[in-house]
Amino acid sequence: MGGNRDRLSRVVLKKDIKRRVLNGHPWIYDNEIERIEGDLEDGSLVDVFTFAGQFIGRGYINRLSKITIRLLTRKPEEIDTNFWKRRVIEALKNRYQLVKENAFRVLFGEADGVPGLIVDKFSDYLVLQVNTLGIYKRLESILPALLETLNPSGVFVIMEGSSIQKEGLEEQKYWIYGSGPELIPYEVNGIKFLADLKGQKTGAFLDQRENAKMLSQFAHGRVCLDCFSYTGNFGMHLLKHGAKHVTFVDYSERALAVAREVAKLNGFTNCDFVVANAFDFLKKLYGESKLFDLIVLDPPSFAKSAANRESAYKGYKEINYRSMKLLRNDGILATSSCTQVISQQEFENILVDAGTDARVVMRILHRGGQPLDHPQIYNILETMYLKFLILQISHL
Ligand code: SAH
């Protein structure tokens, strides 16, 4: 044992630190640090203290990042394979019955006490999103913890996106353990899917699984449009539950090629796939007076920071307004927002605004959100991002 507490550099915070840190939030920004004692390498572990000398926690540091320290624990415990194992076991416990599913998110970064690391399980394979230098440097001790607890056939690492450059890392994707197919078959709600390792994020978005299941009950006999479909999660659920037809729209050709494969795997033929910018496509349909019984909107985040709120607001209003206009009377609109800086209330205000302009009455059929494997922690607001509503739209 020995404990590595004595060997770690100490970081002392400024006098007037934010309650946020004391209340369980794991991030320490560069301007909250009074001094760093001793020499250290970025990516290494540090112990963090208040100005008065009270121990706050242990985490990893990267002076290249505005979020300079991410705390891994509030205890002076060793950050070794056993630590990561305890984190995985705790996360599995917090997922309750979800762990019986064929695919789920095993670790969701800050929300599971593992800042910078996301782990998804697709049948026998694990896909890791490594977002920070501190996690990258610890992969050697993290990997055995995952192998021992989950026994996968292969583990794939994805390092990409703007955060990777901010951390001073190179973008890369590779099998760190074993190997597997580029398209990993998995199942959700009795439907076959493919996680595309060359695709976006970790190959599939597991956060909409319950929302898609809830939407399934409105599928029967309906002509549907799945906008921002990616590999087809929502639309496949609709087809499985008796939709008359589904049009999948995404501007990524690759995403729709995979969606085609997924439809084939499930034997769905009453569907078509349109590579298009959804904004333009919705506008075009309106010009053609084409109507639908059900429309799904699941766009990417429209704003990474509060500074882009305004344009996000405009974007949401436009696609929701156009979709309302494209629905038959009493049609169904399933609409989502994964923009973290837009709150539930703000998103609903946008919908009300769009509905007023479109001259419709909106009945809330369902308010959804994040499933158990995308935990939401009040003390870490950044963990709460997904809004989902199913609305019945009636024209005035
Ligand atoms: N609904 C999917 C996830 C959608 S992710 C699911 O449940 O799994 C968002 C998708 O929107 C991505 O596939 C991306 O390629 C696509 N996209 C982003 N901007 C777009 C645009 N302007 N028009 C069409 N598709 C877009």
Which tokens is 293 given? 């019984």
State the pTM of this model.
Answer: 0.96
Closest atom, ligand 1, to C-alpha of 252: 15
SS (H, E, C) the chain: CCCCCCCCEEEEECCCCCHHHHCCCCEEEHHHEEEEECCCCCCCEEEEECCCCCEEEEEEECCCCCEEEEEEECCCCCCCHHHHHHHHHHHHHHCHHHHHCCEEEEEEHHHHCCCCEEEEEECCEEEEEECCHHHHCCHHHHHHHHHHHHCCCEEEEEECCHHHHHCCCCCEEEEEEECCCCEEEEEECCEEEEEECCCCCCCCCCCCHHHHHHHHCCCCCCEEEEECCCCCHHHHHHHHCCCCEEEEEECCHHHHHHHHHHHHHHCCCCEEEEECCHHHHHHHHHHCCCCEEEEEECCCCCCCCHHHHHHHHHHHHHHHHHHHHHEEEEEEEEEEECCCCCCHHHHHHHHHHHHHHHCEEEEEEEEECCCCCCCCECCEHHHCCCEEEEEEEEEC
Look-up: residue for tokens 């990893």?
60
Place of tokens 């919705």: 282
Question: Exposed, middle or buried by CB within 10 Å (0-12, 13-18, 19+), for 61?
Answer: buried
**Degrees to nearest 5, angle at CA 308 with 306 and 309:** 65
Residue nearest atom 6 in ligand 1 by C-alpha distance: 233
Pocket lined around ligand 1, Cβ cut-off 6 Å: 200, 205, 208, 228-230, 233-234, 250-252, 255, 277-279, 298-300
Written as one letter, the residue type at 216 is S
Separation of CA 335 and ligand 1 centre (Å): 13
* Pairwise CA distance, residues 143 & 180, whole Å: 17
Residue nearest to ligand 1 atom 7, measured at CA: 233
pLDDT of residue 1: 39
Active site residues: 338
Q: How far is the CA of 315 from the centre of ligand 1 (A)?
A: 14
pLDDT digits (tens, 9 = 90+) for 238-272: 999 999 999 999 999 999 999 999 999 999 999 99
Calpha distance 382→102 (Å, rounded): 27
Put residue 201 in one of left, alpha, beta given phi > 0 → left and psi -120 to 50 → alpha: left
Are 36 and 9 contacting, i.e. CB atoms less than 8 angstroms apart? yes
Please check whether residue 391 is in contact with residue 351, taking contact to mean a CB–CB distance below 8 angstroms.
Answer: yes
Q: Among 227, 229, 281, say which to mutate for ligand 1: greatest number of ligand atoms within 8 Å of CB.
A: 229
Give the list of residues 6+ apart from residue 310 with CB closer than 8 angstroms, or none. none
Exposure class string for 307-337: b at 16+ Cβ within 10 A, else e: ebeeebbebbbebbbbbbbbbeeebbbbbbb
Atom of ligand 1 nearest to the CA of 277: 23
Mind listing the pLDDT tens digit of every residue in the chain (396 residues)? 344 445 799 999 999 877 899 999 999 999 999 999 989 999 999 999 999 999 999 999 999 999 999 999 999 999 999 999 999 999 999 999 999 999 999 999 999 999 999 999 999 999 999 999 999 999 999 999 999 999 999 999 999 998 899 999 999 999 999 999 999 999 999 999 999 999 888 789 999 999 999 999 999 999 999 999 999 999 999 999 999 999 999 999 999 999 999 999 999 999 999 999 999 999 999 999 899 999 999 999 999 888 999 999 999 999 999 999 999 999 999 999 999 999 999 999 999 999 999 999 999 999 999 999 999 999 999 999 999 999 999 999
Identify which of 336, 258, 267 has the alpha carbon closest to the alpha carbon of residue 297. Answer: 336
CA of 152 to the centre of ligand 1 (A): 29
Residues near 237 by Cβ (< 8 Å), separated by ≥ 6?
189, 191, 212, 213, 215, 216, 219
Ligand 1 atom 22: residue of nearest CA: 277
Ligand 1 pocket mutation, candidates 194, 209, 214, 230, criterion most atoms within 8 A of CB: 230
Nearest to 368 by CA among 207, 211, 235, 209: 211
Distance CA 239, CA 246 (A): 7
Burial of 306 (0-12, 13-18, 19+ CB in 10 A): exposed
What does the block give as tokens for 209? 């699984």
- Please report the domains of the chain, with CATH numbers, ordered by start residue: 9-73 (2.30.130.10), 81-180 (3.30.750.80), 190-395 (3.40.50.150)
